[in-house]
Structure 1
């Protein structure tokens, strides 16, 4: 066997594998299905056109046969059989449609009087309408349409038309239809392959980017073409999603590292205190002091974890479905009442200014927690003499909770950072840097915005929420 013969089965398997992969492509099947649908529609349309064209020609022939038959019958009734035979001979020799006309005049016994077709049994039987059969015309078979009439004297008159031209036209139209069908199918297949290639090239970029991201490279992005098509918009949306995922992953890494760093110090202090207390001969008072210290540190860590859980819950949006109309004035009044003893202890003047009505959809407990964080920060950083103003404002579209202090404020360059977990402006003040991060997450959950503005001196913190519409 030749090397080519040995290689043929391998090539055949390769072609089958390529065809199988091509058929498994959704893009190819969709494009091919659309192309086949178009081809079928074209075939139906051309078939209707074909039938209508042939039908028009056939009706025209039938009308001519009926008209010629009636004319011959009129001549027979007016002039007799001899004149009818002369008319047939004249029609067959006048050169007008002589190559397609069919005439026969025969006696009842089957003797031919005039005409150009041979007498047969079928022709001697009168027809009710028009018949389409083969006849022997001028010594050759002719597929014809004819009409047979029995005259008053018993003789038979046949008037017909040779269908050779119509058959040629039918064959021409049929061949054209077949050629058009073959070309349409080839175009559908080629179009499907081209469409599949175009789609694969666009989808391939997305798949390659996804594979690189799966491998751990979150910086990869899908190339966006200059064309404003569906794939460009999809790529843009996916890139925005990837940007958000990268930010979230960076945030997770930052939070993980910060939690590990912030936990190490208090846990180390707790361990050191407990190790000292556990030594033999330790004074009971010292043991009690170490135990109290460990409890306080653990309580602070519990507060940190509670804040982190609250932030995670707010960012997940899980509590948004339970939103109800809440009065911000009532929440502010409750928070101010809670912090009045703290403000009095620290000699902070706490003022309240309420709008007439401030109602928004939300979670009362979460909004109270956010407002409490703002008030706590304001009291903590208030200047001297310390003054904190808490209130609500209302416009046609929004309602706001405003907390203003007269402290050092926050520089504009740092205002974008204060909502980050564990970010602290002044590390000499106790805290873990989760207060404003919690406020930011709660505001985002309520489709609200946290604004930080300079009060000169001091800071104005404002949570702006969409106003509850009355129905």
Structure 2
């Protein structure tokens, strides 16, 4: 087969078409990756700068102008930092910081990009991003970040993507030519054999390669791909669970050491308060890890081995009794409305955690002087075992109810309240483990404070 006839074959055209789709997909994927990477670098830089601004603002509020200048001088004096600090007079004269010159002739508040010269390295220019803010009685405050390394990283990523696309193009062309020639040669062999048979060589037969059915091979490869995807997903989940599990022990040890430190005689009040805050933060982290591990146990189904008949009414009564002092402390009425005894098959520990989370949330978000209702019984419509917890707080908008069941999701209105966004995630995981229907709806529809009713209907 001649070169030009080979290029006109259907196999080559089909291979070239798929090669073009492959190269296009590679370009699109790499472009998306680059876009997300560049966006992440910019967002991370802005967040870092804004955190520094907040700390400097706190220093200004707590210690005044002298404290602000001292803090800026300390941080600017660290030669290892990539942060840029400068305080300038209204005329642009540098008062403190690590900038040799003010970057703008006409100063205005907002974000800027500019080239800088370090006082320690006057001959070297570097790229920077900064925010300029007015400061009372001082002039202007500039806080920024040296972007040289980050822009270099972004450039290296772009260069790597260009090489990846080029390599993919070369490999694609080679693969297209190889595959098309292979198919064309096989078809040509069949054609020659048919020609010989037509010419009278009836003893000739079409060559059997023994490769097997193409569809069978495709199905086998797809099954292997799905097995690999399942393995990777399981591996990702195990990584999260293992991190939570492995960090609990060192955190518990750290907490014990801090408690021992609290017992030291003549401990200053400031240090005692700091130790107390640190213990509180450790307890919060341990609570997060315990919740993650509990969710993992529920989602993987390992807890099914512990299933046993559970008196749901008695369990709910115990949880209500546990949270009654907290409700009274907040001026709430906690009502236990058990209609009749009811039992379900499940994990008593997880069901107790589920009920505790629901009652704790209800007490947390109920209106001052309000009412919390806890009930366990049978659903009137279906007769299935039912557990419900209701409050008269602000409730959850209907379009947000599915979202709050995800991990680490909290509504904007509740950002200021304690919590880590895992309570309802745990409830949803335990409900799925027990094949229970989870329903979130308004406790008092039409009211300004509709409240929230969380209901779980267990299998009958």
TM-score normalized by structure 1?
A: 0.43
Question: Rg larger in 1 or in 2?
Answer: 1
